[in-house]
């Protein structure tokens, strides 16, 4: 195991803190080491006092092979694995070791064993992370070629279709989606490098990678238009009624702070749920008000006793029992909404909502994403 400087400094401080105690004159820490095809040995990695920096193994020091009443060895053990040993030298007469000294040295060896175990785990995790990063880089590189090819074929198809406007519109929508995938690939590439996270997301992952281009000026309308186009296409495919905004309030047209880009993830999550769980003939749509965004469907009404439970992590409502899902989507959506100073609720008979436009919306299920409108553009 290659020893890091931080680990070496930590173990040395532990040895120093024990030095000059109850007759102890020398403390030496060895780690077990073995190359493939050779016998195991113990290599010195730290000592007190630091007589020199020449760190030798036990096998290379013949004096250690002679027993001495003033020397003891304490194993560094993690379960049934011997990680190393602690050598203790004293100036005690006739090797008369006090019980309290022996107890303290055993505690020190246990502490050092934990440090070694943590360092091994840290190095293993670091190696695994580096391997995963390399694999992600390879996958990203390999994704770019077929994505570029899809765009090329789509352009060729547009030329071949000629004046077939309806078919051309479908192909152009495919090109928009291809461009969106390209943006996600770019985001994955950035995620694979050190970044400063804007939000404390917690242990969960977003359904889609966030837009990491913080330099680009973007509006709520810019965020939502690709999602609306996708929703429109899904509704057409499933022969649903689809409703989307025809009027965009002023707050949706102003450039906003990058921290609020997660609004797109929340809306996409809610629409995905609507298409997955609403009745096949149910209307689905979005309404934008002066205070926030409504995602609604006119399918089977969510029962009263599930109004709040559906926001609990892992809970799956009666409409989702026989369909795929993890029960995390709404939990994440509300969590993100609150992190940006907003909130997300299921409107029950419009009682929990002070937005008049939402109160006028007569739909079975209305998820209301209330947003901090003034803060969006500060």
Q: Tell me which of 76 and 79 has the higher pLDDT.
A: 76
pLDDT above 80 (res 214): no
- pLDDT at site 205: 39
The rounded distance, in Å, linking the Cα atoms of 76 and 82 is 6
What is the per-residue pLDDT across 322-374, written as a single tens digit (0 to 9) for each?
Answer: 555 556 778 888 988 999 999 998 887 444 556 667 767 778 888 999 999 98
Lowest model confidence (mean pLDDT) among 1-15, 65-79, 188-202, 362-376: 188-202
DSSP H/E element including 250: none
The rounded distance, in Å, linking the Cα atoms of 220 and 102 is 68
For each of the domains in the chain, give its residue range(s) and CATH number, in order of start.
5-127 (3.30.450.40), 218-377 (3.30.565.10)
pLDDT above 80 (res 59): no
pLDDT above 80 (res 62): no
What is the per-residue pLDDT across 271-313, written as a single tens digit (0 to 9) for each?
Answer: 888 888 888 889 999 999 888 999 999 888 888 888 788 888 7
Q: Tell me which of 81 and 357 has the higher pLDDT.
A: 81
pLDDT above 90 (res 67): no
The rounded distance, in Å, linking the Cα atoms of 192 and 339 is 24
Q: Which residues of 199-235 are buried (b: 16+ CB within 10 A; e: fewer)?
A: eeeeeeebeebbbbeeeeebbbbbbbebbbebbbbbb
The string of DSSP letters for 259-324 reads GGGGHHHHHHHHHHHHHHHS-TT--EEEEE-SSEEEEEE-SSPPPGGGTTGGGSTT---GGGTTS-
Q: Tell me what the mean pLDDT of segment 114-125 comes to.
A: 89
Question: Could you tell me what percent of the chain has a pLDDT over 70?
Answer: 80
The rounded distance, in Å, linking the Cα atoms of 240 and 282 is 6
User: Where do runs of H (alpha helix) occur along 162-245?
Assistant: 165-191, 220-237
Lowest model confidence (mean pLDDT) among 91-100, 174-183, 282-291: 174-183
The rounded distance, in Å, linking the Cα atoms of 317 and 262 is 25
pLDDT above 70 (res 178): yes
- pLDDT at site 253: 93
Q: Tell me what the mean pLDDT of segment 89-102 comes to.
A: 83
């Amino acid at each position: 195991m290659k020893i890091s400087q931080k680990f070496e400094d930590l173990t040395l401080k532990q040895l120093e803190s024990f030095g000059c105690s109850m007759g102890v004159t020398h403390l030496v820490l060895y780690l077990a080491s073995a190359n493939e095809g050779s016998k195991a040995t113990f290599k010195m990695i730290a000592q007190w006092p630091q007589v020199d920096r020449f760190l030798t193994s036990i096998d290379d020091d013949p004096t250690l092979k002679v027993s001495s009443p003033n020397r003891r060895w304490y194993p560094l053990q993690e379960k049934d694995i011997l990680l190393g040993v602690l050598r203790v030298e004293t100036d005690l007469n006739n090797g008369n070791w006090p019980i309290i000294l022996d107890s303290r040295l055993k505690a020190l060896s246990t502490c050092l064993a934990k440090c070694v175990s943590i360092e091994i785990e840290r190095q293993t995790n670091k190696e695994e992370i580096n391997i995963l990063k390399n694999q992600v880089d390879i996958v990203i590189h390999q994704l770019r070629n077929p994505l570029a090819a899809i765009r090329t074929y789509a352009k060729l198809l547009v030329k071949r279709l000629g004046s077939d406007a309806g078919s051309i519109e479908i192909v152009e929508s495919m090109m928009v989606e291809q461009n969106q995938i390209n943006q996600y690939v770019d985001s994955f590439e950035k995620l694979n490098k050190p970044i400063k996270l804007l939000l404390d997301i917690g242990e969960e992952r977003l359904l889609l990678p966030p837009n990491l281009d913080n330099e680009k000026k973007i509006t709520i309308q810019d965020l939502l238009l690709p999602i609306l186009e996708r929703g429109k296409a899904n509704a057409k495919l499933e022969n649903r009624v689809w409703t989307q905004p025809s009027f965009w309030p002023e707050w949706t047209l102003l450039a906003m702070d990058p921290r609020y880009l997660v609004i797109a993830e929340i809306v996409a999550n809610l629409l995905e749920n609507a298409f997955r769980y609403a009745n096949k003939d149910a209307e689905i749509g979005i309404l934008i008000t002066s205070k926030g965004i409504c995602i609604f469907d006119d399918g089977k009404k969510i029962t009263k006793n599930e109004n709040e439970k559906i926001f609990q992590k892992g809970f799956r409502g009666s409409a989702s029992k026989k369909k795929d899902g993890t029960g995390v989507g709404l939990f994440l959506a509300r969590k993100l909404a609150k992190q940006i100073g907003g909130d997300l609720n299921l409107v029950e008979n419009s009682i929990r909502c002070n937005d008049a436009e939402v109160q006028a919306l007569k739909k079975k299920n209305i998820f209301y994403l209330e947003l901090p409108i003034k803060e969006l553009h500060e």
